[in-house]
Amino acid sequence: MISAWSTGQQLVLGQRKIDNKSNEITAIPQLIKLLSLSGCIVSIDAMGCQKSIVKEIIKQEADYIITLKKNQPKLYSRVEDLFEKATLDKFEGFEYSEYKLVEEHHGRQETRYYTVINNIKDVVDPENEWDGLYSIGKVDYMRVIKGKSKLESRYFIISLNHNATRLSESIRSHWQIENNLHWVLDVQFNEDKSRMRKDNSAENFARLRHITLNLLKQENSQRLSIRNKRNKAGWDDNYLMLVLSLSNSNNIIALGY
């Protein structure tokens, strides 16, 4: 299933089952159409780097930050060449920003260099195939583990007049869908161990888990883990009714599989 996750409100906004004879590329536009995205920023992995998906996001008056990989060879090549040229020319004549972040934990050091170049539509998309494209981003990751270093780069297409600091924040926010949704569903709800297969049972219970997680995350009267909140709701009818009565609104989403 494809899920839409609100990074600001920590809620699942919607989900869409991937048909057996299809893939996430066709499911994402269907999920986007179910949501009200005006004023939102939509972040998606490279699987969502498709012209039809970008078009649907812009149609809803939203913005996007999408990972760009070689599944879009023409656009990828142009973006890669532009960054190479800009670097050699020391960004002379370019509207750009840079940001550096260094983190150390568990014997590992990671340095990230963020760069954003704005107003590049005519250079990387002269055919006007990518709706709303305005900026491109690059992140260089330097990891040092036990004295061994590894360098990799990632590119992003952006519809906003962005800067490197905001790109860093957006990328970090996007990974909440893995850490705060998928990981929680696996560890706290044992979703990966579910053996439901018959008819629509797996999809139905996936939706129920999403609804339950939404409600439990909104209940902040006590500092309890998701697992303990679930237990308390099972033991205490008054607490259960408190959880079921909660509601909220949301406006920022990340899409993930």
* DSSP class per residue in 229-256: HHHHHHH-HHHHHHHHT-------EEEE
Q: Determine the Cα–Cα distance for residues 121 and 137; give it in Å rounded to an integer.
A: 13
Residue 254 covered by a domain: no
Q: Considering its fold, how many domains does the chain have in total?
A: 1
**More confident of the two residues 209 and 63:** 63
Residue 197 covered by a domain: no
Say whether pLDDT at 213 is over 50.
Answer: yes
Residue 213 covered by a domain: no
Residue 29 covered by a domain: yes
Render pLDDT for 234-247 as a digit per residue (tens, 0 to 9). Answer: 888 888 888 888 75
Say whether pLDDT at 222 is over 60.
Answer: yes
pLDDT for res 20:
64
Question: Average model confidence (pLDDT) for the chain?
Answer: 83
Strands (E), the chain: 2-6, 11-16, 41-44, 63-68, 95-105, 108-118, 135-145, 148-158, 253-256
Mean pLDDT of 141-147: 82
Residue 164 covered by a domain: yes
Query: 3-state class of 44 per DSSP?
Result: strand
Residue 132 covered by a domain: yes
Residue 193 covered by a domain: no
pLDDT for res 1:
75
Residue 159 covered by a domain: yes
Q: What is the pTM of this model?
A: 0.73
With 0-12 / 13-18 / 19 or more C-beta atoms within 10 angstroms meaning exposed / middle / buried, residue 116 is buried
Q: How far is CA 254 from CA 72, 127, 136, 221, 240, in A?
A: 21, 28, 19, 27, 29
Range of the domain at 108: 2-182
pLDDT band of 252, cuts 50, 70, 90:
very low
pLDDT for res 248:
45
